[in-house]
A and B are shown apart, each in its own frame.
Chain A
Amino acid sequence: NAGVTQTPKFRVLKTGQSMTLLCAQDMNHEYMYWYRQDPGMGLRLIHYSVGEGTTAKGEVPDGYNVSRLKKQNFLLGLESAAPSQTSVYFCASSYSTGRGPATVTQYFGPGTRLTVL
């Protein structure tokens, strides 16, 4: 049981390049999330998914796209990377029912460190 895994762990891009970050979970969770973490800003939600085939915007969705073609995978895409997207990206997952922290634990992956030059 690997929990939540993220690929790659590190990446350096040039401005304008594209890339896809992969998140995989083996806990059969319905909900999956993508966050970015920047110094002094805390974790901010980019997009999330409430089930296979669904996606929704979070707090900072601009410049990112996501897809959830399989329940266990949640992909985050950057079509044209910008220096402002330099950050650490975390994926997370949780059980369904729409309940929050009172009854449902959210599990985070180890993060992907992305630098855009």
Chain B
Amino acid sequence: QKEVEQDPGPLSVPEGAIVSLNCTYSNSAFQYFMWYRQYSRKGPELLMYTYSSGNKEDGRFTAQVDKSSKYISLFIRDSQPSDSATYLCAMSAIETSYDKVIFGPGTSLSVIP
């Protein structure tokens, strides 16, 4: 079993829809959770970062962590064609350095105008 799992998609939604992207994980020690956005043929860029459980909102994006279920989500409201990308979740047990971060395989999202 992989430590971090994501539905690879592709997920296709109409413009303006609410998008829900999810990851499950097996290591209960994970406390730091991240979402990255990766456009085609580009490197990933950090989108959201949360610590432990709860929600965090940034504009149209909301990150949610449920440690009891080992489940994290990224919601995108009023989705735009510019949101079309692959979304990677990532997580780590300690805060010290990126060398301990585990990435999920990514979900491909396409927002249709």
On chain A, the number of residues with a Cβ less than 8 Å from chain B's Cβ atoms is 29
Question: A83 on the interface (CB 8 Å rule)?
Answer: no
Q: A98-B97, A101-B34 are in contact. Are A111 and B105 (CB under 8 A)?
A: no
Which residue of chain B lies nearest to A38 when distances are taken between CB atoms in the complex?
B105
Chain B 28-52, CB-CB to A under 8 Å as 1, else 0, gives: 0000101000000111111001010
Contact status B4-A42, CB under 8 Å: yes
Contact status B99-A90, CB under 8 Å: no
* Residues on A facing B (Cβ under 8 Å): 4, 31, 33, 39-45, 48, 56, 58, 90, 92, 94, 98-102, 104-111
Chosen A-B contacts, 13 in total, with CB atoms closer than 8 Å, are A45-B99, A48-B98, A100-B32, A100-B95, A100-B100, A101-B32, A101-B46, A101-B98, A101-B101, A102-B49, A102-B95, A104-B98, A107-B43
